[in-house]
Amino acid sequence: MREMSLSISSSSSGGGPPPAAPTGRAAAIQVQLEPIRTWLATVESGVRHAGAARAVAEVVPRARNYEDVADCLHGACEAYWWLLRLASRRAASSAGNGAPPQPPAQRQSSWRSTCTSEAAAMRPDAIRRLGGVLNELGQLHLHQGQLRAADTLFTGGLAAFNEVNDAANAALLLLNRAAVARQHAHHFAHAANGSGELTFLLEVVGHQRAARQRLKQQRGGGSAPLRAMIVRDLAAGEAAAGACLHAIVAEGGGTEASVKKAGECLSNAQALYEEIGELAQVQLLMRQQGSLYLAAALCASLEGEGHERAATSRLTLALRHYERALAPQLLAQASVSPAMERCAAEARVELATFYLTWGAGGAGGAAIGAATRGGSIDGTMGSGERVKHLETALSHARVPGREGSSPGLPTDVLAQLAGVEQSALRELIRAHAAAGNATRAATLKAEYRTLLTVTQAGTARAVVQQTQSSVPSTVPQMV
């Protein structure tokens, strides 16, 4: 507790030295504080602790600017600092631990003895109040963008609440430290520094996990609203860290540890959202895990021989997560949830694009195909296998329309579905024509022409609607 109190004095830079010539109310307060200042100076006479960045004379009571919130809060911190110092000295004298007693230059008057005894009695409550004041100061610095100072103050407040075993407020201070780390992560994200962003996002998750664990130590697990808030914050933090790791893996810069950590974060977020019953987020995280392992499978397959097993395992995981995201019970909810409807459609786009790439060949598709077959990566693929993958791509691109949900989808998602469906049809026409299946090729050509007609009509309709919405309506004016 001594280290905490000394750090408080070193961070209390809001006030500074008193004015040279105080006037009015400030001058009257200075006169009233003079006996206390003199006495406190004798209490700390000759005492210096390692880590105390300011002289005792700089933290003695002084008049405050009552229009400056930060200055008043710093004054409260210094008052609690002195209260705890007096309580500590009284406790040390009572225990007889060899601490040097206060020199009895003169017999203490009643107000001095009362101040010392009440300081000892108020110690637990003062520590808790000190934690609250440090939290308020930290919030001020956080809102002003002074992140390092805010984190220092939140750390001091956390130490205060831990000292008195206040689990609920300690958990809140941990969430505040997470908020500081999140601001750091945002700054790195704006600077396109993925490594720095990831470092602070993982720090956010660490603080949030600690907050949840700290609250569990309280009898009954804390209040229900506080528990729900921590779980929701932790779920969002895990999801953000997982998404950042996912982006690194998708760009080809991830390692086996990155894939594992990303899967862990996304899985944890999914479990937390399941706990609070947010199905839209659960579905989204299932889809993100599918996308993660799909990207990891492609990266492993492109590394060449010796990585076939890893590619196959990741591909199996990816398809399993996509299957869960498109489970019937979730699709039933999508009919009344635009977010879930869009998530399901975008999952279909991702799967259709994957199977299209796989069936069409090329570096990525050939590598995945070779890895799953356990053969060499030479780009060879039988016509039957190629058609199978292309038919799967086409079925995924068409499912949203067949379910009757496409009218509620955004225009950009519908355009993606139409685009991948057209690509799948073109590849299938070529594959069937090369295999001598003229009947199937002719059927697909007719479907392709119909799709082009429907797509062009839909595009024209969207342009007309956009033009009409941009023309300001005229309101008749009274003459």
The domain locations on the chain are 1-93+116-162
- 200: pLDDT strictly greater than 80: yes
- 479: pLDDT strictly greater than 60: no
Structure confidence at residue 384 as a pLDDT band (50, 70, 90): confident
Tokens 């790195």, residue located: 188
Q: What is the mean pLDDT of residues 189-208?
A: 94
Structure confidence at residue 46 as a pLDDT band (50, 70, 90): very low
- 179: pLDDT strictly greater than 70: yes
Structure confidence at residue 117 as a pLDDT band (50, 70, 90): low
Give me the amino acid identity at 188: F
CB contact at 8 A, 174 and 226: no
**What are the backbone angles phi and psi of residue 261, rounded to the nearest 5°?**
-65, -40
Cα-based distances in Å from 453 to 141, 447, 449, 457 = 60, 10, 6, 6
Q: Could you tell me the sign of the dihedral formed by the alpha carbons of 209, 214, 220, 222, in that order?
A: negative
Would you state the pLDDT for residue 300? Answer: 85
Identify the top-confidence range among 122-131, 185-194, 334-343, 356-365.
185-194
**Number of H-type helices and E-type strands within the chain:** 18, 0
Least confident range from 183-197, 279-293, 441-455: namely 441-455
Would you state the pLDDT for residue 269? Answer: 97
Helices 438-470 and 411-434: crossing angle in degrees, nearest 10, is 160
Would you say how long the chain is, in residues?
Answer: 479
Q: What is the mean pLDDT of residues 248-269?
A: 92
* 3-state class (DSSP) for residue 44: coil
- 102: pLDDT strictly greater than 70: no
Would you state the pLDDT for residue 281? Answer: 96
- How far apart are the C-alpha atoms of 70 and 338, rounded to whole Å? 46
Q: What is the mean pLDDT of residues 84-90?
A: 64
Would you state the pLDDT for residue 4? Answer: 43
Would you state the pLDDT for residue 171? Answer: 96
Would you state the pLDDT for residue 470? Answer: 54
CB contact at 8 A, 315 and 294: yes
How does the average pLDDT of the chain come out, rounded? Answer: 78
Residue 273: exposed, middle, or buried by beta-carbon count in 10 A (0-12, 13-18, 19+)?
A: buried
Both tokens of 250, joined, read 């998708």
Task: Name which residue leads in pLDDT, 451 or 334.
Answer: 451
Q: What is the mean pLDDT of residues 90-95?
A: 55
Would you state the pLDDT for residue 24? Answer: 61
Residues above pLDDT 90, as percent of the chain: 43
